[in-house]
Structure 1
């Protein structure tokens, strides 16, 4: 078991540390990471998810429907509760609350999912990670983009011309046109219609898809190096929800729905992954900088060394 934990976690946190070191030493600019973000979110990750899903047999896709359901419930419930808490108890503005809520509710599937699950569950884990990212991309990501658009309109005093519901629909339309959504959805269509993806396609895309996990981890470490750490009650709350309560919620939902132990274990381990950087990226693109989200990202990632090790001990196949 110790060897399994080390095998799963060492590559993850080593590359995170390399990105952090590069940013702190100014070897790579940690303030302007848009180019790396474009590489990951518009090319490497969408292509990796497309290939992973498109190569999956139709029957396997249907078998993973319950995993998608329990992940969707876990992410949306967490998002709703945390978002309400940010506004009601911590007094964050609409934009800041949206960024912090997405940081907490959307685990770092993009960077940590593949290198974490592959050593534990094998090659089929790539589909689970793709499903997890797709679920977050079509549920809580559009919600966040809509809230940020609404907050920007209110600050500019232009919200009177467009209703909140209309702005939400506009933001939703923008979100579903992004490569991070189109890639996995296109792969899903290919798989469901039973089209056999030529091996040459996967081979041709191999150089960039093979680098996806490393790029994501390095980028996360780079972004962490630019954050200021100020531990507040909100940061402690967010880290506890993300690293402990969300995986417990998802595991409980899986048991309640009567899902097989293997699916319950994968769902819980996926949501045990620390906070993700999508919130910071979305916030930066709309001009919203939320210090509490950066601190939550750091504390969640660091404490994830312990919480992920515990999750692997409890959930990995014996």
Structure 2
């Protein structure tokens, strides 16, 4: 019960406050979009930049940690896509979008603050290791899969499809922040010294990132009220909240991950789909209602599933 009130509740209260503000019309949709644009395009990239720039790449990049997390993610995508095709009888483009909802955990906006509140600031090093390749890898994977499906009947090579996907990913602010963080990290190892005033500014922006993003997330979720599609929504919730963390936990035990790595991997896997899953569907104009509703429902249900995993992970 302590974990529910001390760790989970504060994070979701900020999300709920954003939801309440939009429900009561105390803030316009345009204003909420501005908050989210600030968070996603500026503050969160700076947060990722600072985190990646300060990572000990040799000590924190554990292949088995990444394999445990991303095996669960890709299995969730495969299951979501296959069941959408053969059980729900959805078109291939819809199936890829639904699979992407199952694939893309809200690793940054929810995973980082919950892990930090549960286990302390040092516990999120594993989270940032996962996040450092999360958007680049999964966006490239999802866009390539969708472009490949959409390219059927066209004279587009696999290389051309992959190049189009990579170009789109490299223009994403979060990915730009991650790549800049790697560049500075490697430069500092080569002798680059940046002034303390620079890092103070990075810290100030980083401190604003998660509160603004969580508040804005609540406002955005208000727009995505569930409307039908119960089986598809249940599929997304089951894959993202149950299958992904269970597979990650099992593989973590098999790979003998240490406790800190298990916490980061499993809690990140246990996060609900992020709003980016809806943005991906909206980008292609397919399965938007399923994606939006699944993000909202899974975010609400994750209060219980995250509580469970906090009890499992000492």
In 1, the alpha carbon distance for the partners of 2:123 and 2:304 equals 22
Equivalent residue for 1:137? 135
Q: 1:41 aligned to 2:35?
A: no
Check 1:277–1:263 CA distance in 2 against 1; reply closer, same or farther (3 A cut).
same
Alignment match, 2:264: 266
CA deviation string 1:216-235 (max 9, x = no partner):
21222122211131361121
Match of 1:175?
169
> How much does 1:93 deviate?
2.8
Q: TM-score scaled to structure 2, two decimals?
A: 0.87
Aligned partner of 1:96 among 94, 97, 100: 94
Q: Provide Cα deviations, 1:34-75, integer angstroms capped at 9, x if missing partner.
A: 54443222211111011012123344334x443223222222
Which residue of structure 1 lines up, in the alignment, with residue 25 of structure 2?
26
CA drift of 1:13 comes to 0.8
> Against the structure 1 CA distance between its residues 263 and 15, is the aligned structure 2 distance closer, same or farther, given a 3 Å change threshold?
same
Match of 1:219 among 212, 216, 233: 216
Matched residue count: 310
Hey, what's the Cα distance between the residues in 1 that align with 2:286 and 2:231?
A: 21
CA distance in 1, matches of 2:131, 2:27: 27
In the other structure, the counterpart of 2:205 is 208
Pair 61,186 (structure 1): closer, same or farther in 2 beyond 3 Å: farther
CA distance in 2, matches of 1:180, 1:200: 23
Task: Give the drift of 1:147.
Answer: 4.1
CA-atom RMSD in angstroms: 2.6
Q: Which residue of 1 aligns with 2:242?
A: 244
- Cα deviations by residue, 1:278-300 (Å, 9 ceiling, x for unpaired): 11112223444521112211221
SS at 2:154's partner residue? Answer: helix
Q: 1:18 and 1:42 mapped to 2: Cα distance? A: 22
1:293 matched residue in structure 2: 291
Structure 1 residue 268 displacement after superposition: 0.8
Counterpart in the other structure of 1:80: 78
Q: 1:198 to 1:248 in 2, by over 3 A?
A: farther
TM value normalised by structure 1: 0.86
C-alpha distance 132-32 of structure 1, shift in aligned 2 (>3 A): farther
